Structure formats: structure tokens, C-alpha cells
Structure 1
């Protein structure tokens, strides 16, 4: 009589159904947790740059990156810069405060579409701070050689009036028109109609310091080195040997958004 009663009590106290429920809940959580941890984010950014071959403002940069891999991200970009020869200097002669670059024959505007990779060297800490990335990119260098224009003043023999005219510097040093005086620099795009393409290739390497931001803002400071190799030598200054290889150090401030 005691044995059936004891077995019935043991079976009725066994929580078989809750154990199955807990196992199902654990499996469901394990299957959904990794999905919430995956974050395939990217970055859009625009940059303002200064280089060793330009003034304070050297050009604009556009960049997009994909962060599918936290340690290595592909990037694409576009640089629009004005490249100068390191031997350029402003003429000591001026007219009413206007100046021009002595001996300059051409402006060189470069568009650099590029593809590359950035590697995470030092990650941000859990409390914030900066991250350090290494960058290597390459792509074509599309140079546009634009004649350098200056404004000249000369006396018209027919009317006796003083005429101010914008002409290429090559004509000004040949005294055409006669007895002309250079009074200042012409417009940067004054000779854009006579621009010539100078194709080439470039390689860029640098370090990017990603600063700590709030929400989806993106700020970084990039410093690096660029080598441009053109198919043919590009003449920028008068009485100097044209070069096909130009080296540039750069500093760019990027700001944008992450998504």
C-alpha cells in the first residue's frame, strides 16, 4: 500500500514541462543575441585639407567607408586639390596692393578618385577617447593644366587710353602687348577653356585619428604622404625643369556622419 502512494507523489512533483520551456527560452535567446550585436555601419565624410604644395587651403576631400569588419574597412574617396611647385614665390613688385606669382606658367588642379583600406591600430576605450587607423589608398591622378593668367596694363596707341587686359603669363613675359606692365594675378579659372589633361597615378599612405563624438557625428584628423606620378612632365614654372613626379605631405580635417 505504501509503494503506489510513494510513486504517485514522486511523479506528481516532477516539473517536466517547465524544464522544456526553459530550454526553449535559452535557445531563443542564444539565436537572437548575435543578431542584435552585429552592426554594419559606415561613414560619410567631407574634409578640408592643407598640403606642403599649397596654401592654407589646399582642397576638398570626400570619403566613404564600410565598417563590416571592425579591424579592416574598405574606403573610397575623391580628392580635389591645387598642386603648386615648392619653388613658387610672390613677386616683390605690386600694383595697388595686387601681386602675382613670379614665373608661373600653369596652374595644376588634380582630381584623385581612389580606393583603399584602413586598418584599426588602436581602438577606442570603453570610456571613449580617440582611435588610430592606418590608411593606404591608390587610384588615378587626373591633372588639369590651366594656363596662369595675369592682368596687364598698357597704353592703346590708337585711343591713348590705358587698357587693362587679362592674358597668359607666357604672353606677358614676351611683352605682348608691347610696353605692358603686370599689375596683378588674373582669375584662377581664366584659362580653363585652354586646360589640358595630364593623366597619372597616385599612392597615398597616412594615419587617421578618429576623435570622440556624440551620437552619429564623425570627426577625424588625418596626416599622411602622397606621391603623384604623371604620364608626362608637367611644366608649372618658367625656366625650371618640368617634373613628372610630385610628392606632397598633407593634413586633413574630416567631419561627417555614421549610419
Structure 2
């Protein structure tokens, strides 16, 4: 009995330490329900952000208005409207509307002028073209993560609605009944036939003076070009587009006197677009 007593005493002394170690180990490995739910919510929110961001990016598009200059016009050639949908990062459908003025490459300004005014020698008609179009643009070079420019290729087609407007000039002539000088706007064709008597051309008339006698000339066009999207801030959109257009009309359009009318017109263009993305 004297030898067994120390063993019982040792067991009683070690039992509280064993119970404390078991409890501390169980609390360190057990996760409370609140902690597990919070971790699951955090994981789901992290994984949900990626599809949401991708979905918002896929639905973005662009509205833009453009100012254009062409090889068959002056510095200001016309206006452009364009809308695109960015559902596919590599290929986007586009719709547009072009309203441009087209001149014949053989036109030249008359060397005779009156008080600084001039006119186009032998011009019979102005040609205004309205081009509704549908096409596609392809991403060739994307913007880098640090910004910069993006390059797209564009191919579009659609009808060409040619509006042939008679070219008017202002003439000065003497009224035989009153003896007074009269200034009047007449078609250039009348100035060649001297229907107003002895008259002098003093300058060209307004562009839309002969709109009441305008005639429609239907046709079709094909456009190809490259669009350089510039780096912008927020939702602003800026780009430069350069390309080539072919217009084919059903009937030849007579624009100059003593020259053969043409039904095919080709032109190069440069357009500056500005707008917003949504």
C-alpha cells in the first residue's frame, strides 16, 4: 500500500492538465457557423464580381458624331453619325449615316471675279449624297493596360441617295424698261443661253437655292477604312477614321458642262469622331 499510493497521487495531479489540453485543442480546430457563413459570402461575392463586370462590359456601345473631309470636297466635306455595339470584343456591328458633298475632280474656279466673289466655271449641278449604312468593325490592336490607342478595321455598305441640285449663280444685268441694274440668282445653264439678256456673272448663288428643282439619283456604296481610337478619360470617345468609298449610281450624274457624266464616284476620306460610350 505504501508503494501504490504515489501512483494515485500522480494521476490526480495530471488529470486537470489533460482536460485543459483537450478543451484547448477542440476550440482551435472548430469553426463557428457564423464564421463559415461569412467566408462563404465573401467567396461568392468575389466570384460574382467577375461575371457582373464582364456582363456590363459586353453591353457597352458607342454613340459618335463626325466631321469629315474628302478628296472630292473642300476642307469641310460633311457630317457623320455612328453607333456601335461592343458585345464581342473582337468584332462589333455598326450602323451609320453620312451626309457629304461631292465635287467633280475636274472643277476649277473661274479666273474672273467681281468684288472678290467667284464661281465654278461650267458647273451645272451640285451633288449631295446621303449614305445610310450597316457594317462591321474588327479589332486589330487593343489598347494596352496603361492606355494608348486602339486600331480597328471597318467594312460597311448601304444605299447612296444622290441629290442633284442645280448650280445657281448671281448675275447682274440692266433692265431695259427701267434702266436699273438688277442682281438675280439663276441656274448656270440659263447664264450660258443669255435668257436674261446681256448679263455678267458676279458670283455663285446659295447651295440650296435650287433645292426646289432637285432630283434624286439612287445608288449603292461600299466603304472600307481604319479607325484609330484615341486614349480618353471616363466615357468620352475620340477617334480618327481614314478610308476609301465607292459610290455607284443607277444613272450618270451630270455635274460639269462639256464633260461626260459619270455614274461611279470614288473618294478618300478622313473623319474625326467624338462621342460617348455607355
Q: For the pair shown, which has the larger CA radius of gyration, 1 or 2?
A: 2
Equivalent residue of 1:173, what SS? helix
When residues 98 and 25 of structure 1 are mapped into structure 2, their CA distance, relative to the original with a 3 A threshold, is: closer
Number of residue pairs the alignment of both structures matches:
258
Equivalent residue of 1:193, what SS? helix
Matched, 1:26 2:26: no
Unaligned runs of 5+ in 1: none
For 1:99-118, list aligned pairs within 5 A. Answer: 99-118=118-137
From the two aligned structures, give the one with the greater helix fraction. Answer: 2
Q: TM-score, normalised by structure 1?
A: 0.92
Q: Which residue of the partner structure matches residue 15 of structure 1?
A: 30
Equivalent residue of 1:47, what SS? strand
- The separation in 2 between residues aligned to 1:14 and 1:62, in whole angstroms, is 65
Unaligned runs of 5+ in 2: 1-14
Q: Which residue of the partner structure matches residue 4 of structure 2?
A: none
Aligned-pair CA distance for 1:13: 5.6
For 1:162-241, list aligned pairs within 5 A. Answer: 162-241=181-260
Q: TM-score, normalised by structure 2?
A: 0.86
- The separation in 1 between residues aligned to 2:242 and 2:77, in whole angstroms, is 14
Matched, 1:137 2:148: no
- The separation in 2 between residues aligned to 1:29 and 1:95, in whole angstroms, is 76
**Structure 1 segments of 4 or more deviating over 3 A?**
8-14, 16-25
- The separation in 2 between residues aligned to 1:12 and 1:57, in whole angstroms, is 79
Pick from 66, 79, 88 the counterpart of residue 47 of structure 1. Answer: 66
Aligned-pair CA distance for 1:118: 0.8
Equivalent residue of 2:182, what SS? strand
Task: Kindly report the root-mean-square deviation, in angstroms, between the aligned alpha carbons of the 2 structures.
Answer: 2.1
Equivalent residue of 2:193, what SS? coil
Q: Which residue of the partner structure matches residue 36 of structure 1?
A: 53
Equivalent residue of 1:34, what SS? helix
Aligned-pair CA distance for 1:33: 2.8
Equivalent residue of 2:75, what SS? coil
1:217-242 CA-to-partner distances (Å, cap 9, x unmatched) read: 11111000000010110111111111
1:70-110 CA-to-partner distances (Å, cap 9, x unmatched) read: 11111111111000000000001111111100000000011
Aligned-pair CA distance for 1:24: 5.7
For 1:156-167, list aligned pairs within 5 A. Answer: 156-167=175-186
Q: Which residue of the partner structure matches residue 77 of structure 2?
A: 58
Pick from 145, 155, 159 the counterpart of residue 174 of structure 2. Answer: 155
Deviates more, 1:27-36 or 1:183-192: 27-36
